[in-house]
Amino acid sequence: MAKTYKAVEVTAPGNLRIVERPIPEPDKGQVLIRVEACGICHTDSLTVEGQFPGLSFPRVPGHEVAGRIEAVGSGASVWSAGQRVGVGFFGGYDGHCELCRRGDFINCKNLTVSGISVDGGYAEMMLADANAVVSLPDSLKAVDAGRFSARV
Ligand SMILES: [Zn+2]
Ligand SMILES: [Zn+2]
């Protein structure tokens, strides 16, 4: 297996470049996804143009990801290698802030946002929190999954 993957990262507002990165091991609670398709959304321009508050560079945009689980970190065993999955704008929650303890995960004070606070899907590989990943049916093509998620 290749030891590197290609990613498109934003290095400064308006500046995109293709880079080769070492393939990471998923951390605790994470999965590594081999990206098959990623929708392009207008919201990505907040990353590309550096307009999202608190954004830091380099950052890989993209939050409409379809692919397959490549590797599973500890504590993420609800997923297994080879499963078809998607990741959206919601990139995960901390599980312990006041809002999370009320079950209001989407308003988590430490919400993770794919392609904004963590690297997204403009890449061949992507790390994602296991709790932000959704299952995709085999019958749904990766390109169509990205297109569908662009509407939500
Ligand atoms: Zn979007
Ligand atoms: Zn929280």
The predicted structure's pLDDT at residue 148: 61
Ligand 1 is an ion; residues with CB less than 5 A from it: 41, 43
The residue count of the chain comes to 152
The predicted structure's pLDDT at residue 116: 97
* Cα–ligand 2 centroid distance for 4 (angstroms): 33
Residue closest to 24 by CA, chosen among 104, 95, 94, 124 = 124
The predicted structure's pLDDT at residue 80: 97
Question: Going residue by residue through the chain (152 aa), what tens digit of pLDDT does each one get?
Answer: 689 999 999 999 999 999 999 999 999 999 999 999 999 999 999 999 999 998 999 999 999 999 999 999 999 999 999 999 999 999 999 999 999 999 999 999 999 999 999 999 999 999 999 999 999 999 999 998 876 655 44
Residue closest to 146 by CA, chosen among 111, 118, 116, 121 = 121
The predicted structure's pLDDT at residue 145: 87
* Cα–ligand 1 centroid distance for 113 (angstroms): 11
* Cα–ligand 1 centroid distance for 66 (angstroms): 13
126 vs 92: CA distance, rounded Å: 14
Question: Dihedrals φ, ψ of 53, to 5°?
Answer: -60, 135
What is the reported pTM? 0.92
Q: Which long-range contacts link 13-17 to residues 24+ away (Cβ below 8 Å)?
A: 13/48, 13/49, 13/50, 13/51, 14/48, 14/49, 14/50, 16/48
The predicted structure's pLDDT at residue 1: 65
Could you say which ligand is closest to the alpha carbon of residue 42?
1
The predicted structure's pLDDT at residue 32: 98
Question: Dihedrals φ, ψ of 97, to 5°?
Answer: -75, 170
* Cα–ligand 1 centroid distance for 1 (angstroms): 31
